[in-house]
């Protein structure tokens, strides 16, 4: 039975692409563009009702939402040791980091809306951009502190929490300068050095969303 990942390069679906590679599963990747309306096609919306990626076809099921997909993969493939089951001493920390990744990603989404998706750039609010960038920066402080105590999101080592949070940290670099976050930078270097991350990057494709490496409100 084939595994199909519905994907946009450089978007949240990279979390799943990376996790699948950690589990030695190489999916068929079906790539979409936000700009061409393909995410609103009825065939795709039957798989992801909000018209958002990722959606994953696996084990005869179709699953959407990256957190839900991640938890399902960890629970159905416990041999890889990438999840933390109920009763595990790290279960709470695992769930916290899984969901904190979306706290970060939510702020990125607001900035993406301002910088990328407004039809008329003149509608962009410099005030909102500044506030959201500051909120995003503040959300990284606890991660910097955590990485001052341990090398991964969990003290015991690499887990699926890293595929979730790691993507959010990488995406944050478009809006926050990381010179004040040396521990996060070192962490990202460790993550990108993982063979599965390199394999996922090769499958990811070139982003068709962003036209800059960094977006900053003009002084």
55 forms bridges with which residues in the sheet?
Answer: 6, 64
pLDDT in tens, 204-214: 988 888 888 99
Above 60 in pLDDT, residue 219? no
**CATH no., domain 4-80:** 3.40.30.10
Spatial separation of the C-alpha atoms in residues 9 and 46, rounded to whole Å: 21
Helix axes 160-172, 14-22, angle to 10 degrees: 140
> What predicted TM-score, i.e. pTM, was given to this entire model?
0.95
Give me the pLDDT at residue 1, please: 67
pLDDT in tens, 124-159: 999 999 999 999 999 999 999 999 999 999 999 999
pLDDT in tens, 65-113: 999 999 999 999 999 999 999 999 999 999 999 999 999 999 999 999 9
In the chain, domain spans: 4-80, 91-194
Fold category of 91-194 in CATH: Glutathione S-transferase Yfyf (Class Pi); Chain A, domain 2 (1.20.1050)
């Amino acid at each position: 039975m084939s595994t199909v990942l519905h994907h946009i390069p450089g978007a949240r679906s990279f979390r799943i692409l990376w996790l699948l590679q950690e589990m030695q599963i190489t999916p068929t990747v079906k790539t979409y563009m936000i700009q061409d309306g393909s995410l609103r096609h009825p065939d795709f919306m039957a798989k992801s009702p909000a018209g958002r990626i990722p959606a994953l076809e696996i084990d005869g099921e179709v699953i959407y939402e990256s957190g839900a997909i991640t938890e399902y993969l960890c629970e159905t493939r416990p041999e890889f040791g990438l999840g933390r089951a109920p009763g595990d001493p790290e279960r709470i920390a695992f769930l916290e980091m899984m969901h904190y990744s979306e706290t970060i990603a939510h702020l990125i989404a607001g900035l993406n809306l301002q910088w990328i998706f407004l039809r008329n750039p003149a509608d962009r609010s410099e005030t909102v951009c500044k506030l959201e960038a500051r909120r995003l920066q503040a959300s990284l402080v606890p991660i910097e502190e955590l990485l001052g105590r341990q090398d991964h999101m969990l003290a015991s080592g690499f887990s699926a929490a890293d595929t979730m949070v790691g993507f959010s940290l990488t995406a944050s670099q478009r809006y926050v300068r990381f010179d004040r976050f040396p521990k996060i930078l070192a962490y990202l270097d460790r993550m990108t050095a993982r063979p599965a991350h390199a394999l996922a990057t090769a499958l990811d494709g070139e982003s068709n969303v962003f036209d800059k490496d960094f977006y900053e409100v003009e002084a």
